[in-house]
Amino acid sequence: MTEQERNKNLVLRFYEEVWNRGNYAVAEEVFATTPDGLHDHGTVGPNSAEHQIRVAEEFRKLFPNLELKVEHILAEGDLVAARWRIKATHAITGKPITDYTAVNIWKFGDGKAIELNNNRDDLAIFHQLGLIPSREMLFNRMGEKPYTYAPARE
């Protein structure tokens, strides 16, 4: 097994065990113990196993039936990129979320994650919970028409 395959397997294991099953101890196996170079862009605090456990615990409290599915995963050198989608039901409102996506870029060193960069579509989850208007409404408020995708070619 190559280093890239091992790193991809660690990422997949992290998502399956920590996020889907709530087996938080796996985060300790995935992340390096030294905080040097660990940073979770877009959130507060060092990107340690403890930080990742806290984030997953809080999210799973709000969405206890969440299902995270990795749609794409790529590896090159010491980097792994994974795009995922979460489907779940909000514990407080009972509203479903069906389209919460993100791309995470992981950096590995000595077989452990030493950096994790997140690019999440937080606006989509807020819209699905009814906390903000849709993208279309926001574009209309700006005076722009939202772009649309061309129909698929046959």
Q: What is the CATH number of the domain that holds 45?
A: 3.10.450.50
Pairing of strands 112-120, 40-41: parallel
Quick check: is 93 in a domain? yes
Quick check: is 33 in a domain? yes
Half-sphere exposure of 4 (CA within 13 A, CB side): 9
- CA 47/CA 37 separation, integer angstroms: 9
Instruction: Average the pLDDT over each of 4-8, 10-14, 68-72, 150-154 and give the range with the smallest value.
Output: 150-154
pTM: 0.83
Range of the domain at 84: 3-142
Give the number of domains in the chain. Answer: 1
> In sequence order, what are the residues at sequence separation of 6 or more whose Cβ sits closer than 8 angstroms to the Cβ of residue 21?
none
In a domain, 152, yes or no: no
More confident residue, 51 or 4: 4
Task: Give the per-residue pLDDT at 48.
Answer: 82
User: Is residue 150 in some structural domain?
Assistant: no
Would residue 30 count as lying in a domain?
A: yes
